[in-house]
Amino acid sequence: MADKPEYIPGLAGVPAARSSVCLIDGSVGKLQYRGYPIEQLAEQCTYEETAHLLLFGELPTREQLETFEQELATRRKLKFRIVDVLKQLPESGHPMDALTAAVAGFGMFYPGDHVADLEFRRLSAVRLVAKLPTVVAAWHRIRRGDDPIPPRPDLGHAANFLYMLEGEEPDELAAKVMDVALTLHAEHSMNASTFTARVTASTLADPYAAVASAIGSLAGPLHGGANERVLAMLRTIDGSSPEAVRRWAEDRLARKEKIMGFGHRVYKVKDPRAVILQGLATQLFERYGATPIYDLAVELERQMSELVGHKGIAPNVDFYSGIVYEKLGIPVDLFTPVFAIARVSGWLAHLLEQLQDNRIFRPSQIWVGEADRTVPPIDAR
């Protein structure tokens, strides 16, 4: 009998695709979209430019950007029946479930052949990028008993989302911080939700089904839900002095409990997105006032660096993102939907890439059960 293949839990490090969408070198904290460093994209480009880069392979010219921005703005509105679906959902449900339901329903309202019809494929991608913020904001208001706020075509992608939440146009700094945060979360190679999207796409299911499946994967606390848990964790620390934070961290490590926001499957140094987010947090606090929980986070990072930094355990993107979102006035249970609003362009980039030379995913397994058993009579079992 041939030797069994090696079993690798979680397919860690196993290549599942050839891709030109995202490059990561975790040993030095390198993250690039289509070859462009994330630091440059965050500083010089809007989310709309980044989404165009991911979807179509190149940064847009000024004329292309204006056309893309206009198309996104005109496709933000939701069909009233999608809004009706949201109104039928229980107010106590998690926003990620509402988002999954709405996106799964899109396919019924926008049918077409995304495999052979390249224009329909493009339109599907544009619709999804444009409409996800509207769904999240609409659900947030509906569950409170308020009417959704229609999108404003004169606002950028990030500013419009913040506007639809409460009806107040954000100032320039808040809109810029939100825009950069979306750019930072737009893509991250073959993570769980992206892999889910590619697997679904490989069956030739439509883009709405692929994105709905990716949202379901993102909802898990080990993936997109981690930033919610970072804030909850920080609030369990009794005291903010270096000594108190040190005792708390040592106790958690001694009991081998996970400290949310630290460590990453890929990065062995501080996540470059965390570096940028920390800078955004500083800008927000300088303008709007400090948040004690940020000071606590900074102290925890310092203590963790001394305790486990030598093991390659450092802050990841989730450690500071929740603090930034909270300062922007975004409710905690919308953090992961905001992640989806950003990541949809990355999911779609991988879907489009998958369709270029598609082969359905069909991994094998390693059998560990009994074989050739005989079914006994029911009275003998």
Contact 231, 260 (CB under 8 A): no
CA torsion sign for 351, 214, 265, 39 is positive
Question: And the tokens for 166?
Answer: 């409460």
Distance CA 376, CA 381 (A): 6
DSSP-derived secondary structure for 137-171: HHHHHHTTTPPPPPP-TTS-HHHHHHHHHHS----
C-beta neighbour count of 232 within 10 angstroms: 11
- Closest Cα partner for 190 from 167, 169, 217, 209? 217
Contact 205, 214 (CB under 8 A): no
Distance CA 347, CA 208 (A): 11
One-letter amino acid of 293:
I
Residue 151 to residues 73, 133, 159, 329, Cα–Cα distance (Å): 8, 9, 10, 18
One-letter amino acid of 365:
Q
What is the Cα Rg of the chain in Å?
A: 22
Residues 114, 157, 185, 264: which is the catalytic one? 264
Distance CA 309, CA 157 (A): 37
Residues 114, 185, 318, 350: which is the catalytic one? 318
Distance CA 165, CA 138 (A): 8
DSSP H helices in the chain? 38-44, 47-56, 62-74, 80-88, 95-109, 118-142, 157-166, 172-184, 192-202, 207-218, 226-234, 242-254, 272-288, 292-308, 317-327, 335-356
Is residue 264 flagged as an active site residue? yes
Q: Which residues are catalytic?
A: 264, 318
